[in-house]
């Protein structure tokens, strides 16, 4: 588009110079005048100088200014040749920095001085004021265009920054939700699957000798499996609701009866489990803390059954001061404790203990509810302990 406009201005200058008659004291138009009329607008093409784009506009201003100076020195009228320099001034102030703008101002001043000294028509106040006004308008217009372009770039960068921040926030929310669902899948379904495997194994082993007990084990497998399917269905509806207005109901906060039922599921596998609770009928916990306590006890029992060797498991839940404390102590035999301790150690390490995914999930649940979590080997077994603040006293 810039080249098309430049060519159009060139044709207009040449035609005007050839058609409009000259008056005294200027020389009549000839071939040289026509060449100068074409050279002035064509000098603007230097603004698109490909190798030094920064210096393009000053070069265009120098070329257009030189043409009007030569034109005045040869005695021709300026006509439309005055417009290419003003266009070049506009380009200089709209595209360059401070120092190049100062250089462009100096070039414009030299061109104006050369024209005023060499023009045959003489100099009066109207001529000087007109030149000053055109120069001022071109400079202010270029400065305004540069400021507007810089403002547009700034707004674009701010918009990009805002979008990046929104993307990071969305990614963080998505990652948090994924981690939460991963914890739920690991703790809830992992426990259910472990219990079903153990109960099915017990039922298979005693099927011939004690078919009634085997029937009870299979019935328990069915019950636990149905509960696992309900839990899985709820999580899938959270991940992919059927409609935009569908609200997935959160399960009721588990209490002491749910913990008792949980211990009963583990007992059904043949594992000896003892549950000790306080005198309160319900735990003074918020819904989130109650859910966290249930999941922590559930995962601790799963780990105790998996890594133990049939030794008794002691579960204690009590309200002491500002906290509700739950403890799962797996009093393993020497053989079971050694096997479990080796399973919890970093592979290849002779000392040190590393938490797996289950213990990491338990610690994160306690942290999110403002509680404290401890887990590790103790003499004779392994202990998991969590302290959660009662409702209204959480941090």
Task: Report pLDDT digits (tens) over 69-90.
Answer: 888 888 888 888 888 888 888 8
Is 338 inside a domain boundary?
Answer: yes
Mean per-residue pLDDT, 340-352: 37
Going by pLDDT thresholds of 50, 70 and 90, the confidence category of residue 246 is low
Last residue of a domain, one of 123, 142, 161: 123
In a domain, 10, yes or no: yes
What is the residue range of 352's domain?
271-395
Which of 123, 151, 170 is the last residue in one of the domains? 123
Q: Which residue has the higher pLDDT, 198 or 271?
A: 271
Residue 96 belongs to some domain of the structure: yes
Alpha carbons 12 and 10: distance in angstroms, whole number: 5
- Does residue 285 belong to any structural domain of this protein? yes
Mean residue pLDDT of the chain comes to: 78
Q: Which residue has the higher pLDDT, 181 or 155?
A: 155
| The domain boundary residue, chosen from 92, 123, 154 | 123
Residue 246 maps to a domain: no
Q: For the chain, what is the domain count?
A: 2
Q: How far is the CA of 258 from the CAs of 19, 261, 292, 298, in angstroms?
A: 103, 5, 13, 10
Task: Return the number of other C-beta atoms located less than 10 Å from residue 292's C-beta.
Answer: 26
Instruction: Check pLDDT > 60 for residue 354.
Output: no
List the helix and strand counts (H, then E) for the chain. Answer: 12, 5
Confidence of residue 52 (pLDDT cuts 50, 70, 90): low
pLDDT digits (tens, 9 = 90+) for 322-336: 889 999 998 765 444
**Cα distance between residue 136 and residue 131, in whole Å:** 9
Residue 52 belongs to a domain: yes
Residue bearing the bigger pLDDT, 350 or 252: 252
For the chain, give the percent of residues with pLDDT over 70.
Answer: 84
Q: Does pLDDT of 139 surpass 70?
A: yes
Evaluate if pTM is beyond 0.75: no
Grade residue 105 by pLDDT with cuts at 50, 70 and 90: confident
β-sheet bridge partners, residue 317: 277, 326
- Can you tell me the mean pLDDT for 292-306? 85
End-to-end CA distance of the chain: 66
For residue 338, the SS3 value is helix
pLDDT of residue 118: 84
- Whether residue 372 lies inside any domain: the answer is yes
> Does any domain span residue 183?
no
Q: Looking at the predicted structure, is the pLDDT value of residue 305 above 70?
A: yes
């Amino acid at each position: 588009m810039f080249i098309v406009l430049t060519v159009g201005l060139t044709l207009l200058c040449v035609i005007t110079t050839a058609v409009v008659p000259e008056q005294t004291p200027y020389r009549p138009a000839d071939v040289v005048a026509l060449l100068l009329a074409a050279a002035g607008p064509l000098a603007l093409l230097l603004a698109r100088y490909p190798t030094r784009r920064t210096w393009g506009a000053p070069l265009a201003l120098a070329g257009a200014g030189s043409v009007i100076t030569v034109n005045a020195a040869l005695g021709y009228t300026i006509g439309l040749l005055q417009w290419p320099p003003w266009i070049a001034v506009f380009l200089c102030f709209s595209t360059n920095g401070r120092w190049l703008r100062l250089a462009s101002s100096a070039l414009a001043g030299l061109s104006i001085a050369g024209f005023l000294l060499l023009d045959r028509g003489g100099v009066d106040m109207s001529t000087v004021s007109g030149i000053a006004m055109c120069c001022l308008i071109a400079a202010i217009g270029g400065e305004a265009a540069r400021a507007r372009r810089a403002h547009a770039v700034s707004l674009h960068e701010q918009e990009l920054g805002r979008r990046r921040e929104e993307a990071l926030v969305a990614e963080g929310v998505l990652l948090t939700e994924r981690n939460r669902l991963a914890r739920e899948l690991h703790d809830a379904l992992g426990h259910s699957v472990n219990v079903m495997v153990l109960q099915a194994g017990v039922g298979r082993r005693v099927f011939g000798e004690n078919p009634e007990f085997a029937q009870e084990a299979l019935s328990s497998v069915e019950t636990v499996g149905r509960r696992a399917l309900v839990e899985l269905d709820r999580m899938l509806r959270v991940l992919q609701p059927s409609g935009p207005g569908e609200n997935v109901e959160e399960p009721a906060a588990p209490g002491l009866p749910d913990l008792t039922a949980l211990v009963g599921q583990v007992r059904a596998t043949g594992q000896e489990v003892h549950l000790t609770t306080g005198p309160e009928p319900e735990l003074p916990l918020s819904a989130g803390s109650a859910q966290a306590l249930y999941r922590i006890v559930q995962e601790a029992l799963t780990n105790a059954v998996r890594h133990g060797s049939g030794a008794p498991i002691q579960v204690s839940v009590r309200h002491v001061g500002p906290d509700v404390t739950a403890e799962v102590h797996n009093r393993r035999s020497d053989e079971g404790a050694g096997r479990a301790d080796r399973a919890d150690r970093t592979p290849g390490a002779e000392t040190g203990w590393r938490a797996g995914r289950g213990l990491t999930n338990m610690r994160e649940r306690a942290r999110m509810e403002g509680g404290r979590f401890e887990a590790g080997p103790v003499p004779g077994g392994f202990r998991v302990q969590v302290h959660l603040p009662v409702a209204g006293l959480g941090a």
